[in-house]
Structure 1
Amino acid sequence: MTTPTTVAAVEVTGLGVTLGGAHILTGVDLTVRTGEWVTVIGPNGAGKSTLLRAVGGLLPASTGAVSLFGTPIARLRRRDRARTVATVPQSPVVPAGMAVLDYVLLGRTPYVPPLGRESAADLAVAYDVLDRLDLTGFAARALATLSGGERQRVFLARALAQGAPLLLLDEPTSALDIGHQQEVLELVDQLRADHGLTVLATMHDLSVAGEYADRMVLVAAGAVVADGPPRTVLTDELLGTHYRARVRVIEGEHGPLVVPVRTRRAVD
C-alpha cells in the first residue's frame, strides 16, 4: 500500500477514551509525521498503552478523532486497516500449540484471498523476517516452548511480516536482554530508513527510548504534558515531577541518558 508523504501518518485530535466509567485519556493531541519515530513515555497507569490501542483502532474513542495517513480510522475497513497499521501489544494472544512460522504467517492474512492460502511470496516474506530477527531455527517450534525474549521477537516478526507502513510497538523490548534489545531496535530503525516505516512506540527504558526516538511524548494522568525532541522531554525537572523519581540526565552519544539517583545510602 502506498502512502502519501504530504499528510501525517497519525493525526490524533482531542482524543478521549473512557473504560469502565474511568477517563483514561482526555483531550490528547498527537501528530506523527510519515517516517518519524515517536516514543510515548510516562509513569505506570498514565494511558500509554490505551493511546496506542486507540490509534490502532482496537479501542473506540469517547471524544475526538484518529486519522491514519489522512483517512479517519472509522472509515477504514478491517482488511485495509490491517494493511495500514501493525501492532505489537504487550501481551499478545497466542493460539495453543501454534508453531512460530504459522504465527508469523498470520501477519500476511490481510493479503490472502478469502478461503485462500498463503502464497510463495508470503512465505518468502515470513522467512526473511525470521532471518532478520535470528529466528530461522525456531520456525517449526511451538511458541509455548520459547523463552519470553524469543517470543517477544516472534511477536515483532509477525508485525513486520504484515508489511504495514505504520508500526505500533507497546513495550517491544520489555522481555529482551540488552543484546537483543539493540538488535530489535536497530532492525526497526533500519526498516524505517529503507522503507519509510513510521514508528509509534511506548517504552519504559528512558535511556534506550531517547537514543532511537526522533521525538518523545510524555503522558501523565491521561494527558500530554510534554512533546518534543528527547533532550527537551528527558529533563531532571519533568521526570522528577511526573515520575516522582530522583534522576540525573546526562548527555549521551545518540541522546540523553537517564540515571537513577539514590536518595540516601543505607547505614551499616
Structure 2
Amino acid sequence: MSAAPAVEVRDLHVTLDRTPILAGIDLTVAVGEWVTVIGPNGAGKSTLLRAVGGLLAAPGAVALFGTPIESLRRRDRARVVATVAQSPVVPPGMSVLDYVLLGRTPYIPSLGRESAADLAAVHEVLARLDLTGFVRRELATLSGGERQRVFLARALAQGATLLLLDEPTSALDIGHQQEVLDLVDQLRRENGLTVVATMHDLSIAGEYADRMVLLAAGRVAAAGTPREVLTERLLAEHYKASVRVIDGDHGPLIVPVRRR
C-alpha cells in the first residue's frame, strides 16, 4: 500500500466577497516533492496556498498526509504545515529571537515556557540563515530582505514536514534568493520536507521545482515538469509575455524579449 500524498486537493472552489477565485482545483503533491505554483497576478496562487494551509475553509477539498485538514486541531496542524506568507503581521517591538521562537509554539505546553531544545532549534535555524547577529534587533528595524529571512526562520523552526512558501524571495537580492532556496532544498533532501511554493521569478522557479502548476483565472492551465510548463507558447498565452526559453542545467531559463 502506497503512502498517502503530502497534499491532496480535490475539486477546490473558493469564493471571496462573492467573487470566484478558484474553480475546481485538483492538486497532488508527493511526500518530499517540491511543487511551485505560477501564474499571472490574480490567478489564485496565494488563495490556493491559504486553503492548503488551513487558513481558508475548504471542507472536504484538502487532505494533508491522508488526513482531512478540517479534522486536524490547530495545534496538530501547526506541527504538520508551516506557512511563510508574503506580508506576515509583525508584532510591534518584537525581537528577531522572540519572533522565531513563535515557531516553537506548537511544542510548548499551555502556560509553559520554551525548553532548551526549543532554543537550540531556533538558534540552529538562525545560524543557517545568517541571522545570528540579529537576534536582539527589533524586526521593524530590519530591511525587507532581512525580514524575509526571519519569516522563513520562524517557519523552519516550527519543524513542520510541509512548508508553504508564498513568494519567499520577493524581497531578496539574487544572492540571498539563492541562499534561501538552496537551504530549503537542502532541508527538503535531508529531512524529507515537502515544499509547495508560489513564485513570480520563473527562471528561479524552474531551477528548484520538481513539478510546476500554472494557474490562470482560478483553474489549472498546465501542470508537469518545469520544461513542460515553462514554454514560450504557454507563457505567451497566459502571461501575455514575449520571452525566449533557454534550456539550463536544472530547468528552463526565461529571458524577456523586447517587443518591437
Q: Give the TM-score band, short-chain normalised.
A: over 0.9
**Equivalent runs, 1:144-223 vs 2, <5 Å:** 144-223=140-219
SS in 1 for 2:61: strand
Match of 2:106 among 85, 107, 110: 110
Aligned residue among 6, 11, 27 for 2:8: 11
1:36 aligns to 2:33 (yes or no): yes
RMSD (CA atoms): 1.0
The partner residue of 1:224 within 208, 220, 236 is: 220
Instruction: Count the aligned residue pairs.
Output: 260
Deviations 1:104-153 (A, max 9, x none): 00000000000000000000000000000000000000000000000000
Pair 1:91-2:95 in alignment: no
Aligned partner (choices 119, 130, 137) of residue 134 of structure 1? 130
Aligned: 1:26 with 2:36: no
Identity of aligned residues (%): 78
CA offset at residue 64 of structure 1?
A: 5.3
Runs of 4 or more above 4 Å deviation: none
Give the drift of 1:247.
Answer: 0.7
Q: TM-score, normalised by structure 1?
A: 0.96
Match for residue 57 of structure 1? 54
Please state if 1:80 is matched with 2:68: no
Give the Cα–Cα distance (whole angstroms) in 1 for the partners of residues 99 and 216 of structure 2: 35
- Letter paired with 1:34: V
Q: Distance in 1 between matches of 2:252 and 2:161?
A: 28
Within 2, Cα distance between the matches of 1:110 and 1:156? 17
Aligned residue for 2:221, secondary structure, equals strand
TM-score between the two structures when normalised by the length of structure 2: 0.99
**Kept after mapping to 2: 8 A contact 1:16/1:64:** no
